Amino acid sequence: MRDSGRWRIHVKGTVQGVGFRPFVYRSAMEAGLSGHVCNTGEGVAIEIEGTADTRDRFLDRLQHDLPPLARIQELAAEEIAPVGTSGFAIRASRSDGPTDAQISPDVAPCEDCLRELADPGDRRHRYPFINCTNCGPRYTIVEALPYDRPKTTMKAFEMCPACALEYADPLDRRFHAQPDACAECGPRLTFVRSRDREIMGSSNLIEEARAALCGGEIVAIKGIGGFHLACDATNDAAVSELRRRKRRDEKPFAIMVADLEATRKLCHCSEEEVRLLSSPERPIVLLRRREGSRIAPSVAPGNRNLGVMLPSSPLHHLLLHELRSPVTGHRSRVLVMTSGNITDEPIAFTNEDALERLSGIAHAFLLHDREIRTRVDDSVARVMGGRPAVLRRARGFVPAPVRLSFEMPPILAAGADLKGAICLTRGRNAYLSQYLGDLEHALAHRAFEDAAEHLQELLGIRPEIIAHDLHPDYFSTRYAHSLSTLHSPLFAAVQHHHAHVASCMAENDLPNEKVIGIALDGTGFGPDGTVWGGEILLADYSGYERAAHFRSVPMPGGDAAAREPWRMAVAYLEAGGTRQEARIPLLSQIDPERIRTVREMIAKGINCPRTSSCGRLFDAVAALIELRTVNAFEGQAAMELEQIANENEEGRYRFTLDAGSIRNIDFSPMIADILEDVGRDVPATVIAARFHNTLVEALVGSCASILSDARYTMRDARVCLSGGCFQNALLTGRLKKQLEAEGFAVYTHSLVPPNDGGIALGQAVVAAHRHRT
Ligand code: ZN
Ligand code: ZN
Ligand code: FE
């Protein structure tokens, strides 16, 4: 052949278990190229031989015409000597050499599979475990690498001849689809009544589950990453009963809705929200609910938003479609789908565990025999400023790496204790683990340790540096130090808000140059012994200095103050010298005796750590306007304050910014203004908006002041926003807009949570720079 040549191409990224080799095979065959393709420990190796033209076209297609789940991170092609063979082959995996292959996250059913699911002529018609190379479970079923069926929980099922044929055919959509199965050979459902735990022999178990749900019962359903507790979301009695049994008072339940059409009837959704809802990751998306929808009030009491997800597995599709309400006869198509646990425990993910722990909650269980190796919660996201923001990173997102602009040594970062998550690094990839829950209970500790170990094994990362929070009493900190017995790694203790800012820098690919980092959250250990949380840092990856912070106030009762916002209201009133008695009927819901005690605690400094926390400021304001004096769940007061705020209100309150060496932002004048407004019966919706506007103005003013400070030299005015308070769309949106109007370049989180679920990434990059030689 004229100008014939041969290339060896190495591809790294998510290229295994996603139909990449069949795609290469088809592309090569169509182009008339000869050669072969195989999986390696690091990705995929390809050799092609043909004319320069066809090779160029092939390479172009390889980069721009990928299967939906494939992601190329690196591609290297080298010229080698032609060998003159004909034909193209898919060769067996090579598992020698280093391991850097990536596992795909779990993926919701693709359009092709859904069509087959609904097609009476298809051999997988109504089969609840249908999947292909473009969709299905991945991370949750993998036991070890390389990603082959014997190393997944599908090893228990032997393929029938029909499935085996598809699996072996390079032109089939199920070529090497490891979880491939059918009703003949694959996983099966069982339905269990908890009364007697007897397995029902009915031929259509989904019908049984549906009947139970429509009859107002609670059914535990095994999903992709664990169990859900489900009930009819339009049946208030059923939802209230679920709340009582799950011991969850007010925290909103997520709902699962059959399709977009049904979702639009319940909630307002923008184009961006539609994209997020129907993305392969299928997160729970926070949407503004429509007035007068059929959703039972107890699903999300007093909440303007609803957490909505579309079906994330074929089983969910079958369940949701054709669901009918027994009351109206109308298709109901909406289920509460909340995590299968009691309050804050980890979700159940094995059949035995579910039958044990959930038997006091569920009337019945819809189980199956495909084991879940790795427990993964539902992800939670919302659209902020037209961009998706992942608030809980779990199913669908993990273990896709966050790609960094620089090389990292192998690091394990242990994260923080609220919204636990670890981060492992190799090369330019940072693997942020799934959300591992709040590390308060022994059960959560065990789940955390198991997840951390499994992820290290799976990725083959042996950390040389262990990073953790400064907080000595965090479980995650103790876990980090327990790893010293294994080998002798280096340690790096990273300040909480520095980690927040570094995490935002890393997600946005920023170089190691100083930025202004605004870190606003509930609580983080400060090196001066106070509790930080309203911080403006001048930071890069190597270090930080505290440039400004909210004036610190006493936090009466420590952690109790986070549960009882009224305590912070009293603290702010005392700090501003405002006599509470003069302001009736402030805090009328609280026993005056308790208020007196708290004032005494403050006066005498008993159990009153000082805090600059922004979260506690939100608490104080929510309590002052009697919106919320006691939190039923973490962050409730702040969430409600955002939700009620009148978006058309432009007014604001006073504050002072004193420009010492560390700037102090004092909101006492604002508290006095709020009291005036309350006295004049200004609506809470207006006060809430003015509060947000004041925060924004104070922060923008501080950034401008820092920028003009001769002591600092910053190449350009970059501002990073991080911390749990930036789950607040109103605050994030207004602050970003104002800062940009002042000429700042503003960076926010998108795929990494702004809350403590993203902090491990920041710890890792800081640790890498600190130990850089
Ligand atoms: Zn599919
Ligand atoms: Zn089969
Ligand atoms: Fe935090």
Q: In what order do the strands lie in the sheet with 423-432?
A: 423-432, 402-413, 465-469, 490-494
CB atoms near residue 291 (< 10 Å): 5
Q: CA 552, CA 723: separation in Å to the nearest integer? A: 18
Query: With 0-12 CB in 10 A as exposed, 13-18 as middle and 19+ as buried, what is 617?
Result: buried
Distance (Å) from CA 339 to ligand 3 centroid:
24
Here the tokens at position 416 are 């923080």
Distance (Å) from CA 135 to ligand 2 centroid:
17
Judged by its nearest atom, the ligand closest to the C-alpha of residue 523 is: 3
Query: With 0-12 CB in 10 A as exposed, 13-18 as middle and 19+ as buried, what is 583?
Result: middle
3-state helix, strand, coil in the chain (%, to 5): 35, 25, 40
Distance (Å) from CA 695 to ligand 1 centroid:
47
Distance (Å) from CA 182 to ligand 2 centroid:
4
Q: How confident is the model at residue 330 (pLDDT cuts 50, 70, 90)?
A: low
Q: CA 390, CA 754: separation in Å to the nearest integer? A: 8
> Radius of gyration over alpha carbons of the chain, in Å?
28
8 Å CB contact between 136 and 163: no
Q: How confident is the model at residue 323 (pLDDT cuts 50, 70, 90)?
A: low
DSSP symbol at 324: B
Distance (Å) from CA 754 to ligand 3 centroid:
8
8 Å CB contact between 336 and 225: no
DSSP element (H, E) containing 670: helix 668-679
Distance (Å) from CA 117 to ligand 1 centroid:
10
What is the model's pLDDT at position 332?
61
8 Å CB contact between 364 and 212: yes
Q: CA 421, CA 414: separation in Å to the nearest integer? A: 7
Q: Does pLDDT of 465 surpass 50?
A: yes
Distance (Å) from CA 177 to ligand 2 centroid:
12
Q: What is the pLDDT of residues 571-615, one digit of tens each?
A: 999 888 765 555 545 688 899 999 999 999 999 999 999 999 999
* Residue pointed to by tokens 């403050």: 602
**Parallel/antiparallel/unpaired status of strands 490-494 and 515-525:** unpaired
Distance (Å) from CA 363 to ligand 3 centroid:
38
Distance (Å) from CA 114 to ligand 1 centroid:
7
Distance (Å) from CA 550 to ligand 3 centroid:
15
What is the biggest distance separating any 2 CA atoms in the chain, rounded to whole angstroms? 96
DSSP symbol at 44: E
Distance (Å) from CA 682 to ligand 1 centroid:
55
Q: CA 641, CA 623: separation in Å to the nearest integer? A: 10
Judged by its nearest atom, the ligand closest to the C-alpha of residue 115 is: 1
The mean per-residue pLDDT over the stretch 160-178 comes to 93
Distance (Å) from CA 758 to ligand 3 centroid:
9
* Residue pointed to by tokens 């059923």: 238
What is the model's pLDDT at position 489?
85
Of 188, 206, 201, nearest in space to 320 by CA = 206
Distance (Å) from CA 697 to ligand 1 centroid:
49
Judged by its nearest atom, the ligand closest to the C-alpha of residue 520 is: 3
What is the model's pLDDT at position 103?
86
Angle at 752 between CA 403 and CA 411, to 5 degrees: 55
3-state SS of 605-652 is: CCCCCEECCHHHHHHHHHHHCCCCCCCCCCCHHHHHHHHHCCCCCCCC
What is the model's pLDDT at position 665?
98
Listed as own residue / partner, the contacts of 477-486 with beta carbons closer than 8 Å and 24 or more positions apart are: 477/414, 479/414, 479/445, 479/448, 479/449, 479/452, 480/412, 480/414, 483/412
Q: What is the pLDDT of residues 717-773, one digit of tens each?
A: 999 999 999 999 999 999 999 999 999 999 999 999 999 999 999 999 999 999 986
DSSP element (H, E) containing 679: helix 668-679
What is the model's pLDDT at position 194?
63
Q: Which of 68-72, 519-523, 668-672 has the lowest mean pLDDT?
A: 68-72
Contacts of 259 (CB under 8 A, 6+ apart): 310, 333
Q: CA 616, CA 561: separation in Å to the nearest integer? A: 8
Question: What is the percent of the chain with per-residue pLDDT over 70, rounded to a whole number?
Answer: 94
Contacts of 127 (CB under 8 A, 6+ apart): 117, 182, 183, 186, 314
* C-alpha distances out from residue 101 to 344, 568, 599, Å: 34, 50, 59
DSSP symbol at 152: B
Q: Which residues surround ligand 1, an ion (CB under 5 A)?
A: 110, 113, 132, 134-135
Provide DSSP, 704-754: HHHHT-TT---SS-EEEEESGGGG-HHHHHHHHHHHHHTT-EEE--SSS-S
Judged by its nearest atom, the ligand closest to the C-alpha of residue 613 is: 3
What is the model's pLDDT at position 393?
98
8 Å CB contact between 483 and 466: yes
- Phi, then psi, of 349 in degrees rounded to 5: -135, -5
* Omega before residue 399 within 30° of 0, cis: yes
Q: Is 142 helix (H, G, I), strand (E, B) or coil?
A: strand
Angle at 13 between CA 12 and CA 17, to 5 degrees: 110
Q: What is the pLDDT of residues 121-136, one digit of tens each?
A: 999 999 999 999 999 9
Q: Does pLDDT of 642 surpass 80?
A: yes
Q: Is 555 helix (H, G, I), strand (E, B) or coil?
A: coil
Distance (Å) from CA 762 to ligand 3 centroid:
11
Distance (Å) from CA 668 to ligand 1 centroid:
58
Distance (Å) from CA 168 to ligand 2 centroid:
13
Distance (Å) from CA 162 to ligand 2 centroid:
6
Distance (Å) from CA 68 to ligand 2 centroid:
24
Distance (Å) from CA 700 to ligand 1 centroid:
48
Distance (Å) from CA 105 to ligand 1 centroid:
14
What is the model's pLDDT at position 584?
46
Distance (Å) from CA 613 to ligand 3 centroid:
10
Judged by its nearest atom, the ligand closest to the C-alpha of residue 469 is: 3
DSSP symbol at 185: T
What is the model's pLDDT at position 52?
93
Of 307, 207, 296, 213, nearest in space to 253 by CA = 307
What is the model's pLDDT at position 643?
96
- Phi, then psi, of 162 in degrees rounded to 5: -65, -45
Q: CA 11, CA 671: separation in Å to the nearest integer? A: 59
Here the tokens at position 720 are 């990073």
> In the chain, what is the straight-line distance between the N-terminal and C-terminal CA atoms, in Å?
52
8 Å CB contact between 21 and 80: no
More confident residue, 455 or 328: 455
Judged by its nearest atom, the ligand closest to the C-alpha of residue 174 is: 1
Distance (Å) from CA 617 to ligand 1 centroid:
48
Distance (Å) from CA 311 to ligand 1 centroid:
14
Query: With 0-12 CB in 10 A as exposed, 13-18 as middle and 19+ as buried, what is 676?
Result: exposed
What is the model's pLDDT at position 199?
62
- Per the prediction, the chain carries an average pLDDT of 92
